[in-house]
Amino acid sequence: MKLASLDSIQNAHEDSLWTAAWVRSDGDKPALLLTGGLDETVRLWDPTKLTCLHTNTGHCLGVVSVTAHPNRRIAASASLDSFIRVFEVDTNNTIATLEAPPSEVWQLQFSPDGSTLAAAGGGSSSVKLWDTTQWQLVATLSIPRQGGSQPSERSGSKKFVLSVAWNPDGRLLACGSVDGTISVFDVARVKFLHFLEGHCMPVRSLVFSPLLHESRILFSGSDDGHVHVYDAEGKTFLTSLSGHASWVLSVDVSPDGAAVATGSSDKTIKLWDLKMRAATQTLTNHTDQVWSVAFGPPSRIDVRSCMLASVSDDKSISFYQYS
């Protein structure tokens, strides 16, 4: 497996880029890339032509997360302004605007079936769930105090929730907190299951294996410089991937489930072979910290091949071919 550098877009935004997410291909429509950043905009890119198709305004502070719905037609962005904006991908028309209290909207992710939008709840020590038909808040998954039994939205400022991830069948949801803990929930029962421990600093990124037979496997990236691998359902720590010189800001798994890509504040991207449990490649395309790495959908010609995108404080987007 390897990453081959393709093209980069310099000055893709007017300020730091913080987040990126792919819009999957559909029929004759190619896969596109959404990016967001400190300049308060969300931009839609054609990675083959390296062109910006839309610049979406509507937020009044930096955009911390973007996510695309599985149906490809809609996407959502979250900002430091505490608003979530839901919009049509092709037209940029606003579908819904969801408001939260200050510092209670961070990373977003749609459920695999598209029925629910999850938002890491920051200072609320919870994950908020909105239905995607009426855009109503339908559940709050609150993190209990460690050592306590009752979940509470007042569970303490240390459980500031930064990251969120669904497993492939939508049964499990995990969130990562500033104190280094990961909380796992049974979504259908709206029930907290357990904590996953091992990190000692904020967990900024989470992703489950995309493979259904490995749907319990969770990867976490932390400011402690490590990527941890867990059996999220079995509450088991499996291994650690270490090699970055600073914070791991983003982690994603390749569509074939064989590799992990990470972005770090050490300005590098690493590709990890999960069988070898080691980094096989380090890329230095960026000149500042790498806030997001995202694997695109698999190629129609070779399902083991896809693109990877990375975004950085250096205002650039870089594209790579994974094979």
Cβ(106)–Cβ(94) below 8 Å: no
pLDDT of residue 148: 57
Check: CB of residue 145 under 8 Å from CB of residue 156.
Answer: yes
| Predicted local distance difference test score (pLDDT) of residue 154 | 44
pTM of structure: 0.94
Residue 305, pLDDT score: 86
pLDDT value for 146: 78
Residue 191 burial class via C-beta count within 10 angstroms: exposed 0-12, middle 13-18, buried 19 and up? exposed
Give CA separation, 167 vs 113, 164, 206, 303, in Å. 11, 10, 10, 21
**Strand, helix or coil at 159?**
helix
Per the CB < 8 A criterion, the answer to whether 119 and 111 are in contact is no
pLDDT for the residue numbered 152 = 46
- What is the widest separation between alpha-carbon atoms in the chain? 54
Selection from 128, 97, 100, 133 nearest residue 114 by Cα: 133
The structural domains of the chain, with segments of one domain joined by +, span: 3-143+159-322
Reported as half-sphere exposure (CB side, CA atoms, 13 A), residue 61 has a value of 13
Six-digit token pair at 65? 């997360």
Q: Thinking of the domain 3-143+159-322, which architecture would CATH place it in?
A: 7 Propeller (2.130)
pLDDT in tens, 232-258: 999 999 999 999 999 999 999 999 999
Say which amino acid occupies 15. D
Give the per-residue pLDDT at 304. Answer: 77
What pLDDT, on the 0 to 100 scale, is given for residue 303? Answer: 65
- Per-residue pLDDT, 157: 46
Residues of the chain with pLDDT under 50: 149, 152-157
DSSP reduced 3-state for 178:
coil
Cβ proximity of 184 and 204 under 8 Å: no
Question: Which pLDDT belongs to residue 150?
Answer: 52
